[in-house]
Every structure is written in structure tokens, then in C-alpha cells.
Structure 1
Amino acid sequence: MAYTMVDLCWKLSVCFFCCQVVSGRVKRDGHYVAAVYEHESILSPNPTALVDRQSALELMGRNLDIYEQQVVAAARQGAQIIVFPEDGIHGFNFTRSSIYPYLDFVLHSHSVKWNPCREPYLFNDTEVLQRLSCMALKNKIFLVANLGTKQPCEHTDPHCPSDGRYQFNTNVAFNDDGMLVATYRKHNLYFEDAFDAPPEPDYKLFDTPFAGKFGMFTCFDILFFEPAVNLIRQYNLKQVVYPTAWMNQLPLLAAVEFQQAFATAFNINILAANIHHPTLGMTGSGIYTPVKSFIYHNMESYGGKLIVAEIPVITTDYKTNLESNERFRENLHHSCKTSTSASMGNQVCFKEEQETPGRVSEKGNEQLPPLFYAEMMYDNFTFVPVWGEEGELQVCANTLCCYLNYQRAVLTGELYALGVFDGLHTVHGTYYVQACALVKCGGLSFSTCGQEVTDATAVIDFQLWGNMSTPYIFPLLLTSGITLDFADHMGWKNKHYFISKNRTSSGLLTAALYGRWYEKD
């Protein structure tokens, strides 16, 4: 088709008003282009050995060389911000002494404005910060990275370690001019003897011209109220950057599974960059919105992965959502109508006083599936098997009762189970969990339920709900091959939280309500 000059001018003027060209990519109004890089870090062959600063810089320089290549590649694709993973520059498994040569000096101060690339002479031991700053400046991109930092302290400080210095696991954010705009020190350390937790949690934000304010926290922080949840609530955040070095734990805490659930639960965008070491179970990065995700999970091959995606700037007020959810939870308990998928809508009425599971059904003569117990995620879950093509199940533990309506497209011979846990998790961290979980078992015996499973063929319609005691519910929906699916409906109804799906996109691995009762930690 031939265009006249008038046609071309009109088309260009329309584009000028509703979109803009960013480094060769047309970006829609109200959207921004984000990048995360899952990095296979070059590790020290002996992280407990003591080395000098120059040797440490040489190792970190090899990782920074890769970072620089990825920043250039992301910028060429129009990315306005890029996030790198936790421990990506120096690695892990250090002692407090052996990590010291790898640490940069950072002032955690709002009052000091500093551009490490333009002003490298201001502080000693800032070589890593200088390189990161220059990457941001040269490529005109916001950049978030994680590194180890040091800060001297006086013994008059009651928190000052005996060696006279703090050592922090730190995220740094640079704007597109190379200015250091935010630092965040990890609060919830995960067996990290080399680092100190800050005396008080950091609530660190940085502002961008393309998406407003971003908050940041690191890895294990995502499971706790401080600072992650409080940061989002206090500042009504819609965008979060999240460096992590996450070891996947199925069926409830795979990296991409929980990152997506967190974005959905808080109605935010998350830019999550994980480290890539499959032999250690470490993979799973993504750019997440509440309704769509761009993910990478690969346990088979090696090497890094750059993800670039255009996503909308979220404007919905989270506080309003939380408050309305609470009102929904308190007030709407007389109706049995639900906003669920049509195929199962008539079956669901969230009853206030349902009986606890017995061995005989309400009909009086129908034997119910047997209760059994199995370990899942190091916790003792109470399970009931999911048998047949369709059915209704209930299982309870402590104050929590979980309910399931289900229908399978085809019987596949796989064993599924509905499990409940309401208690304090105490392995690899201490925190209180309320969980209702429909999971595929590892085999056909009850003892295999709760095992790590990565493949499934059963396509299932389901509604899952529970009388959760906390408003902080993370909806998990994981399908075969560690891929993500999205619920048709979810929310509070009659003081129960529910999730429903009319036919999963592929074989179901996990459908769960993972509740965190922070007050009981």
C-alpha cells in the first residue's frame, strides 16, 4: 500500500502523542521497558581462603564484564531499568574474614549526593561501585545490583561488631546519569555469617521518570513483614526491584512461583533477578505483573539469561485494595453467590459452620477418603487423597480448614492430595504459615505426597478455599515444567479466601493458598 506524505505525517503525529520510540523499540504510553539478568556467576574456587584486594577485584571484574555486556544488550532493546541478582558479583560461601577484600565502602546516607563514575576520588575501595555507575551513565539506564559493603563503626555503638566494622549484603541503585540514588541493606539474612543485619530495617526507595517510585529488598526478605510488606504498605508502592539468590523448593516455594504470587497478592510489578547455578537448585527470574509474567526457569543448561519486557505502570492504590478486601471479608458473609468459573459456580457456597472431616459423609453411608500425614516443605501436613474424576473434599488442622471442589478432564492415573498446615515453620528460618495446597504426589503411595515434582499431565478444574486467619495470602498456581498459570478468580468470600481455575493450561503441579501470619512469627 502506498502512503501519501499527508498519511505519513498523520501516522507520525499519532505515534508522537500516544507512544514514544526508545532505542529502536516503540513504547506504549503508560508502560515502561524493564530488564532482569539471571547471572551464572564466576565463583571463587575457595571462598574461605584469604586473598588481597587486587585478587578480589580481578574475580569481581570478570563478573562485571558480563554485567556490562548485558547492560549494553538491554539498552539496545529499549530497557529503561535493569536488575542483577544477589551475590552475582562476588559469589557466596565466604566467612566474615574471607569476604572482607571483596567489600566496597558505601555511605548509607540520604544527605550525600555522589556519582561514583564522575567522582571516583571521593572514597577509597569503591571500584565496583564506579564500574556499575559508569555502566548506568554510558547506557543511560537505571541499574540495580547487589554487592558486599563495609562501614566502620565505633565501639560506643552497641551494635558494632567486635572487629570494628559492619559488613552488609547491599543493593545499590543508580539513575541513568550514574548517580547513586538508593542503598538497601538486607535485613533477613539466610545463613550468611559473612554479613551483619542492619540495626533497623531499611525502607529505601528511588524515583524514576518512567514508572514513579521503586522499592527494593533482597531474597529471604520476601517471606517477612519487615521490611518487604511494611515497605509496600507504608509507601503504597507499585514497583519493586528484587535481587535474589533463591534455591528452589517445590512444591510451594519455587522462585518463579512465589515471585508471581507476591506480585499478584500486592497488585505490584516485580523485577526479580536470580542467580543461575542449577546444581545448587538456583534458577528462576522474571518480570512480573499481577496478570502476566515473563519468566526464566532452567535447571538443565548453563549460562545467563537476559529478560526484557514492556509492562504497564500500575496505578491502582494497594491500600484501598487491602481495605476493601477487609470490608469484603467482614461484611459479605450472608450470600452464597460467588464470582467463580461457570462450570463450577453452582457447587460453591462458603458455609460458616462446615463440619470437620469425619470418616463418613453427610449422606451417612458414603466412606470418605482417609486422612494421612506426610512431610512437605519440612512441615507435617495433614492430607486427604484426591480420587476420581470429580468431588468435594475438606481437611482441617488447628484453626484452618481447607476445601476443594474439583473436576478432571481425563483420569490420568496420577495421585493428587489436598493438604493443610497451620503452624510455625522452623527449618531454614522460623515463620508462621497457614497453607491449603492441592499438589501432585511424587508417586502413587501416600508417602510420596509433598515430594518435589516437576511434571504432570492432569488438567483440572478446581476451586480451593480456606478460612484463613491472616489477610496476607499468596495464591500459587504452578503447572508442568515449572510454568505459571493464572487463576480465573480469587479473593475473600464469607470470611474464606478462594482461588478458582476453569481448566489449567497444562498438567497441574500445585494450586495453593500460602498464608503468612506475620504476627505469630
Structure 2
Amino acid sequence: MAYTMMDLCWKLFVCIFCYQVVSGRVKRHGHYVAAVYEHESILSPNPAALVDRRSALELMGRNLDIYEQQVVDAARQGAQIIVFPEDGIHGFNFTRSSIYPYLDFVLHSQSVKWNPCREPYLFNDTEVLQRLSCMALKNKIFLVANLGTKEPCDHADPRCPSDGRYQFNTNVAFSDDGMLVATYRKHNLYFEYAFDTPPEPDYKFFDTPFAGKFGMFTCFDILFFEPAVNLIRQYNLKQVVYPTAWMNQLPLLSAVEFQQAFATAFNVNVLAANIHHPTLGMTGSGIYTPVKSFIYHNMESYGGKLIVAEIPVITTDYETNLESNERFGENLHHSCKPFTSVSLDDQVCFKEREDTPGRASEEGNELLPPIFYAEMMYDNFTFVPVWGQKGKLHVCANTLCCYLTYRRDVLTDELYALGVFDGLHTVHGTYYVQACALVKCGGLSFNTCGQEVTDATALIDFQLWGNMSTPYIFPLLLTSGITLDFADHMGWKNNYYFISKNRTSSGLLTAALYGRWYEKD
């Protein structure tokens, strides 16, 4: 049969179109479809009890049954990769001994190529890995999950525990043919006494045909330089998979709030899967790009949630918010230069002042608002109240000064405050924080500032900036109902980092610059 050129072109078009349609979803060029699952895990009623391997596999199998359903559903929606949360298969609150029956053996070396679904006979105690591998293979999807793993060690190894084995909190990644392509052992454990810290940070990533390399780390790791920041910068990664079991802490460390801030700060896509246990404050998952987020946060109801979204592949290496050369420019601590706000008519003056509570302002016609102190995130913040319809404020602590210009169209019966903290955080982890934060207070008295608040009505135009000493600044913008907003502009201007917004999308809960000064941890 003879074909005209038009016939051949049409067949080629149909072929290309069919190739791009996956289960009814047409993928745009330069995009991929990702899925994350927030899992309400089935937990052991007594995690400290000693059980046999068979009982452990039975409990884990119930969670894996749910995983399998979600993989099928995600694949039907065209997902090319799916991420599951930390502790989702076995749960938590184990002792070192009681978790042992729940641990799979995993060969951490990448020199051995292994497909657990097709080669289950190679290693013992790999039942969980086999099921995960088969899910990936049967559904032709990349799959990332978290489980407990074990590795024997020799007593000649000075780090080898007395029981002769290492136990790790481990992420595993499988390709769409079921091949184990990466393993990552969590480095920054959060009171996880059942697990060991690996001797060196793992820098682990895996390659995909649809979005290039994906980096991998877990939960508490996101707050530290090793391995999260070093991994991204050293290997120039633009996609991150992030299993977590995160307990929300307002106003600065809600799960979705910080996950978005990380994606924005590093100009990466983040696929974050959290556990869903509202009574423990655990919820908040999402698929994040630097400019858009698809999130789930639900403290009211139970059950899991699958998020599927099409997002662009990030390939550009343009300058991120962390890397501006202006950061290292002229020191302005003792000078004043105008900086025109993008959201307010007034000009902002970057200048540190020595005003004290009750002292007349520089204009001499008004008293400055009082300075007060309140605990926020277990840290002693220095605050000034944000009064009136508009104004300019500043507050300092140690070497950090924070500045705010603001305007609200309608005055509401809500107290806001501008807070600063520059010091070592020592509760539930030790790490150095520099923070400038505009927060809604829990009530109308000063001692309620810093409390956890979930609802607000005030719509505020603002610009917030500070003379941060670290280049690692995470911009937080949280609105009523634990929803997210994006700043209009942010970045470095001389020695100051700023964030600005012309009217929040809903009532403002938190607008903050959360700086991590890693060298001072």
C-alpha cells in the first residue's frame, strides 16, 4: 500500500501523541508526573514487645497492601515516580531489640546490581524489598520508600555495635523495571534509638529518563548541611525525594511550610511524603516546585492521601536565592541607602538604629512600640508589636536586626508581632538559627506571641528584611488554615535578605526569614 507524505506525517503525529498519553494524561514537553502518598500507617500496639519475623512481616504486609493500591492508582493517573513516607511500613517507637524482626537486609554497595522481584533468592530477609520491587516492576513506575535495614559488622570495626550489626533508617529507590537503584541511610536521627548513624553521610541519587537525577534524604536531615545541602550543591541536583515522619511545630516549622521553603531556597522540585497521624501532629505532604505547590495538610480527619501532579523538569543552573553576589557587597551597617519596596509606596532605608522602648523615634513625633520577650519554638525571641494600619519597625538581637514595613487595608482584632532570634536552638535538636519573623499572636496579650495559631483574617502588604550572617535563608509564608503563599520578590540586597508580598492570599499566619548558620551548630 502506498502512503502519501501527509499520511506518513499524520501517522507520526498519532504515534507521538499516543506516546505522550499515559492513562489519559497528556504530559507536556519538559514535564513529568509525580506522586506522593501521605500514609496513615498501621502501627504495632506495643512496639517495645519482642515478636518473631513472621509477626513483623504480617504487620508490615498490611501497610504494603495499602502501598500497592496507591501505586496502582498513581500509575493509572500517569505517575512516573511515587514516594512513600518515613516509618510508613514498620512504624516507630521501637527499641533496638524490638525493631530487629522488622529489618530487611540490604546491600548498601551499588556495585552489585540487584532486582529483588526477579532475583528474590540472592539474599535472605528481603521480603519487604521484594514487594516494593515488584510494585515498581508491575506498574512500570519509579518507587521510593523507607524501611528499617540491617547489616552485619565485624567486631574488629571499632564502630560495630555490641550485637554485631548495624541498624539503619533507610530509603530505597527502585527503577520502573524493579531494579534497586539507590539506598540512603538517614544521617540526622531524631531520637531514634533503634537505629545507628552511618559512619559517613550518604550522598545518594538515582537517574531517571524523564527528569534526570533525583537526590534523596530523610525527615530531620532537611535542617542540616550534611547531607541535604551538600548533596544538592555538590551534584547540582534539581529534583529531590523526601520521605518524612514530621511532627508539625508552628509557627516556623510546619511540614508544608518548610518543605516549600526548601524548594524555593534551592530552586529544586521536592517530592515530600509524610506520615498521617493527626493526634501526634503528623501531617503535611506535597509536590513542590520553586513557584507552585500541591499540598495536603489535614489535622481533622484520618486516612491516607495520594497527591498526583504534573510539574516541570528543572534543568537551569541560574542563580538561586542563596547565591547572590550582592550578599558579599558593601557593608551597610552604618549607612543608609534607599531601597524601593515592590509592595509599598514608601522607600525602605537599610539602617541599624539604637532605639529603645519608649524612646522617641527619629522623627521625634511618636514613641516606638515596646520591646518584649516571649518563647517561640522553645527559643527566647525578642519582639515588637505590629500596631496600627501601617508602619515601619525594627528589632535586634545579638548581631541580627530585622526590619518590617507593612500596611493592611482593614484593621482586625488580631495582634501581630515582629520577632528576632539569633542563637543556638537546643530543644529537640541542636542547631544555630537566625530568624526574622512576622507572626500572628495567639491572643491580644504579648505573652501569646509565639504560640501555635492556625487561623487568621488580616490581609497584609509587607516587606521583611534582615542583615543575615548566613547565605542559607528559607523564606516562610504561611496563611490561614495552614495554606501556602508565595512571595512576590525575595533575595539579597547588599548585606540584607528581603521578602515582600503585595497582599497575602488569605489571613497571614507567618512571614519569616529562617536562616540556618550551619558553621555554628
Bin the TM-score by the shorter chain: over 0.9
- Describe the SS at the equivalent of 2:119: coil
Structure 1's 363 and 352: CA in aligned 2 closer, same or farther, altered over 3 A? Answer: closer
Structure 1's 324 and 382: CA in aligned 2 closer, same or farther, altered over 3 A? Answer: closer
Match of 2:238 in 1: 238
Structure 1's 419 and 14: CA in aligned 2 closer, same or farther, altered over 3 A? Answer: farther
Give CA-to-partner distance per residue, 1:283-325, whole Å, 9 cap, x none. Answer: 0000000000000000000000000000000112167765444
Query: Pairwise mapping of residues 136-175 of structure 1 onto structure 2 (< 5 A)?
Result: 136-175=136-175
Give CA-to-partner distance per residue, 1:250-292, whole Å, 9 cap, x none. Answer: 0000000000000000000000000000000000000000000
- Partners of 2:355 and 2:361 within 8 A in 1: no
Give CA-to-partner distance per residue, 1:321-360, whole Å, 9 cap, x none. Answer: 6544456755999998888664415322323778677732
Matches of 1:268 and 1:338 in 2, distance apart?
32
- Partners of 1:329 and 1:492 within 8 A in 2: no
- Describe the SS at the equivalent of 2:69: helix
Give CA-to-partner distance per residue, 1:484-513, whole Å, 9 cap, x none. Answer: 000000000021000000000000000000
Structure 1's 10 and 193: CA in aligned 2 closer, same or farther, altered over 3 A? Answer: same
- Partners of 1:415 and 1:443 within 8 A in 2: yes
Structure 1's 102 and 507: CA in aligned 2 closer, same or farther, altered over 3 A? Answer: same
- Describe the SS at the equivalent of 2:364: coil
Give CA-to-partner distance per residue, 1:72-101, whole Å, 9 cap, x none. Answer: 000000000000000000000000000000
Structure 1's 329 and 186: CA in aligned 2 closer, same or farther, altered over 3 A? Answer: farther
Matches of 2:49 and 2:413 in 1, distance apart?
52
Structure 1's 174 and 362: CA in aligned 2 closer, same or farther, altered over 3 A? Answer: same
- Partners of 2:206 and 2:214 within 8 A in 1: yes
Structure 1's 357 and 264: CA in aligned 2 closer, same or farther, altered over 3 A? Answer: farther
Structure 1's 13 and 106: CA in aligned 2 closer, same or farther, altered over 3 A? Answer: same
TM norm structure 2: 0.95
- Partners of 2:285 and 2:295 within 8 A in 1: yes
- Describe the SS at the equivalent of 2:276: coil
- Describe the SS at the equivalent of 1:252: coil
- Partners of 2:332 and 2:350 within 8 A in 1: no
Structure 1's 329 and 273: CA in aligned 2 closer, same or farther, altered over 3 A? Answer: farther
- Describe the SS at the equivalent of 2:350: coil
Structure 1's 319 and 18: CA in aligned 2 closer, same or farther, altered over 3 A? Answer: farther
**Alignment RMSD:** 3.1
User: Gapped runs of 5+ residues in structure 1?
Assistant: none
- Partners of 1:85 and 1:145 within 8 A in 2: yes
Matches of 1:101 and 1:109 in 2, distance apart?
23
Measure how far apart 1:446 and its partner are. Answer: 0.3
- Partners of 1:328 and 1:493 within 8 A in 2: no
Give CA-to-partner distance per residue, 1:116-152, whole Å, 9 cap, x none. Answer: 0000000000000000000000000000000000000
- Partners of 1:360 and 1:368 within 8 A in 2: yes
- Partners of 1:18 and 1:28 within 8 A in 2: no
Matches of 1:63 and 1:96 in 2, distance apart?
21
Give CA-to-partner distance per residue, 1:156-177, whole Å, 9 cap, x none. Answer: 1111111100000000000000
Larger deviation: 209-218 or 350-359? Answer: 350-359
- Partners of 1:357 and 1:394 within 8 A in 2: no
Match of 1:470 in 2: 470
- Describe the SS at the equivalent of 1:303: coil
Measure how far apart 1:13 and its partner are. Answer: 2.6
Matches of 2:240 and 2:338 in 1, distance apart?
32
Structure 1's 409 and 100: CA in aligned 2 closer, same or farther, altered over 3 A? Answer: same
User: Gapped runs of 5+ residues in structure 2?
Assistant: none
Structure 1's 34 and 362: CA in aligned 2 closer, same or farther, altered over 3 A? Answer: same
Give CA-to-partner distance per residue, 1:460-504, whole Å, 9 cap, x none. Answer: 000000000000000000000000000000000021000000000
Matches of 1:459 and 1:374 in 2, distance apart?
24
Measure how far apart 1:211 and its partner are. Answer: 0.4
- Partners of 1:334 and 1:494 within 8 A in 2: no
